[in-house]
Structure formats: C-alpha cells, structure tokens
Amino acid sequence: MSGHTDNSIVINAPMDLVWDITNDVESWTSLFSEYSVAEIIERRGPSVRFRLALHPDENGKVWSWVSERTPDPQSRTVRSARVETGVFKYMSLFWEYTQEDDGVRMRWVQDFEMKPIAPVTDEQMTARLNHNTAIQLELIKGKVEAAAARKLAS
C-alpha cells in the first residue's frame, strides 16, 4: 500500500505573483505555518536542494528533511522529492498551477510510502497530510491574495 493526496485551492491573484511567492523556498517560514526552517543548501540550474524543519511537535521533537525541487515556469509545474526520506520510503510531490476564471488553481499531489519503522501507517499519514494541506493552502491563499491587494494599491 502507498499514500496519495491530491489537494488544490484557487487563489485570486495574478499567475506570476502566485508562482513567484510560492516558489520562493527561502520565504516558506513566513508563508507556511508549519516550518521553522527553510534553508537553501544548493542551486543547480532551475533545481534547488533545501532543508525544511517543522516546529517542535507535542513531544518537543523537531522533524527535518532535505528535499529537491525543480520548477518549470513554461508548464507552470514543479516536481519535488525528499532526498533525506526519514520515516518515508519515498515522498514525491507535484505542484501544478492553472489559470481559471476566478484566479490561479494551485494543486499539490503527494505520493509516498511509509517505512515499517514509521510511527504512522500510509493511511494515517494520508489523513494527516490531507488535513494539514487544507490548512496550509488556506493560509497561502490569504497571504498571496493580501500581497496582490497591496501590489494593486501601490
């Protein structure tokens, strides 16, 4: 068995602004509520290798990992995968941005499998990711739409 999530939200802002803000990995600690660290390790062409760390969990543990992501501005897609997989056998992500009448649909697809040593099953992680992704997408929508409003007002 493996895990799969597919979540999206429509952001009422120009495509370039949505793209630029959400692909600025270094600013993710202010864009996402869950990250305490977003550190660039290496850039190779359009690809970026980076470390993310979550805020401490209820037991004080800080989960962190290294991922690599490659944005494609032509197709408005991003492919990403964890390089340090931690409790995952693998974790790959696909981000897709599509223009719609009422804004930009930003879609996140995550495919993964948990290791047998993981504290949760694939099903439990799927539920956890679906829950948290909805929260993060709403936060990002609010922040990007606020940035668009400020830009329009200036």
Domains and CATH numbers, the chain: 3-153 (3.30.530.20)
CA distances from 146 to 57, 82, 112, 149 (A): 29, 30, 33, 5
| pLDDT tens-place string over residues 86-139 | 999 999 999 999 999 999 999 999 999 999 999 999 999 999 999 999 999 999
pLDDT at position 80: 98
Cut 0.85: pTM above it: yes
CA distance 131 to 111: 15
pLDDT at position 154: 85
Inform me whether the pLDDT recorded for 1 exceeds 80: no
Sheet holding 88-100, edge to edge: 3-11, 103-114, 88-100, 77-82, 64-72, 47-54, 35-44
| pLDDT tens-place string over residues 50-97 | 999 999 988 998 989 999 999 999 999 999 999 999 999 999 999 999
Which one has a higher pLDDT value, 151 or 52?
A: 52
DSSP, collapsed to helix, strand or coil, labels residue 37 as strand
Provide, rounded to the nearest whole percent, the portion of the chain with pLDDT above 70.
99
> What would the mean pLDDT of 18-26 be, rounded to a whole number?
97
Q: How confident is the model at residue 20 (pLDDT cuts 50, 70, 90)?
A: very high
CA distance 53 to 65: 7
> What would the mean pLDDT of 13-38 be, rounded to a whole number?
97
As beta bridge partners, residue 64 has: 53
Q: What is the largest CA-CA distance in the chain?
A: 53
> What would the mean pLDDT of 29-45 be, rounded to a whole number?
97
